[in-house]
Amino acid sequence: MTATTDERVKSVSGFRRAMIRPELGAICGTILVFVFFVLIAGDTGMFAAQGVMNWTLVSAQFAIIAVGACLLMIAGEFDLSVGSMIGFAGTVIAIVSVQWGWPVWIAILCAFAVALAIGALNGWLVIRTGLPSFIVTLAFLYILRGLTIWLSILTTRQTIIGGVGEAAKGDWLAWLFGGKIFGSLFVWLADADVIATYDRGARSGQPIIDGIPMLIVWAIGLMIFAHVLLTRTRFGNWIYAAGGDAQAARYVGVPVDRVKILMFMFTAFCATVFATCQVMEFGSAAADRGLLKEFEAIICVVIGGALLTGGYGSVVGAALGALIFGVVQQGLFFAGAESSLFRVFLGTILILAVIMNTFIRRMITGER
């Protein structure tokens, strides 16, 4: 029995299939960025063990918030309150643990509970009012930033709340956000002269890298979770459907409203993970933390190939966009360039990414 070809199904060449992959642009951009900085900063220590750890840590920071933004944008919505959520969640942790004297693990759980509630409220308002998520979350950007500053001044009369580091010592949940893993491995690598050690001071003889920060572990974990959710589950198909054509998705039984609200909550969850890691790293909370992070997250996702109209994107692409950001930010430092050029890069890469994504969308839809 011979197989027949349905004439209604349009065949797609392997080359065209590769061209419409959302992460294609991010892959090309990553290669170009690495080649560029190998040429101009390869002998500055950027690709030594400590340099690699530096830009990996920065990339992980971008990746954590980009993962949440990616899934939400694929679902057809935006969240501009991410940056303010970072500062707000960190302040909640500091107030509950330092000012109220509660255990840090309770403070962290409180921050996550409040953040998830705000994320659900964002999603509910978007669904119930029919307003663009851009407007609703822009309002919460100001509301949360104002609340953060007000709460800080009300409780401590200053916008920076310290003492979290001391309160977090020995706390089991605090370690999951501020600890390090594989410390013995790096000691062994230092003994084998694979990585450098401190040659003076109190830490003389200890490895320069004493472990992998949990922030990097969280970034990798969230990326894997989101990628599997998006590509291997029915819920992932619902996310694409909700962003592609919400009304058509409703007709076939997709719970579009629930999907979008959950994605707003997931974005708030990612922002709180970032905030908690920052608070544990610095031992304090500051009202201005997270400034402009919402735009950096969106740019990472756009670089990764997601369409601003929703229904198309990739977690892998968003992760590569975060990697590009981390490498460029640290690469400019190692190359001795002016740090403000990083913002120039952000604007330039955003325009190029949108142009390329528009070209890809036209290839998919056949538009001229």
- From 193, 184, 183, 84, select the one nearest 140 (Cα to Cα): 84
The amino acid that residue 315 corresponds to is V
Residue spans of the domains in the chain: they are 48-171+213-360
Structure confidence at residue 341 (pLDDT): 81
Residue 64: count other Cβ atoms within 10 Å of its Cβ: 29
Asked whether the beta carbons of 130 and 116 are under 8 A apart, the reply is: no
Question: pLDDT class for 7, splitting at 50, 70, 90?
Answer: very low
Report, as an integer, the average pLDDT of 155-181.
92
Report, as an integer, the average pLDDT of 150-155.
93
Structure confidence at residue 40 (pLDDT): 86
Please determine, for residue 31, whether its predicted confidence score (pLDDT) is greater than 80.
Answer: yes
Report, as an integer, the average pLDDT of 208-226.
94
CA distances for 275 relative to 20, 100, 260, 271, angstroms = 35, 19, 23, 6
Structure confidence at residue 48 (pLDDT): 85
Report, as an integer, the average pLDDT of 196-222.
85
Max mean pLDDT among 27-31, 173-177, 183-187, 364-368 falls in 173-177
Look at the pTM and tell me if it is higher than 0.85: yes
The amino acid that residue 152 corresponds to is S
Structure confidence at residue 348 (pLDDT): 82
Question: pLDDT class for 16, splitting at 50, 70, 90?
Answer: low
Max mean pLDDT among 98-107, 199-208, 332-341, 350-359 falls in 98-107
Please determine, for residue 175, whether its predicted confidence score (pLDDT) is greater than 90.
Answer: yes
Measure the N-to-C terminal CA separation of the chain; round to a whole number of Å.
41
Please tell me which residue, 322 or 334, carries the higher pLDDT value: 322
Contacts for 101 with CB less than 8 Å, ≥ 6 apart: none
Please determine, for residue 316, whether its predicted confidence score (pLDDT) is greater than 70.
Answer: yes
Domain 48-171+213-360 in this protein, CATH class: mainly alpha
Least confident of 234-243, 250-259, 346-355: 346-355
Phi, psi (rounded to 5 degrees) for 138: -65, -40
Q: Per residue in 99-134, pLDDT tens?
A: 999 999 999 999 999 999 999 999 999 999 999 999
For the chain, the average pLDDT equals: 87
Structure confidence at residue 9 (pLDDT): 42
Asked whether the beta carbons of 91 and 247 are under 8 A apart, the reply is: no
Question: pLDDT class for 6, splitting at 50, 70, 90?
Answer: very low
- From 261, 292, 306, select the one nearest 67 (Cα to Cα): 306
Max mean pLDDT among 41-50, 103-112, 340-349 falls in 103-112
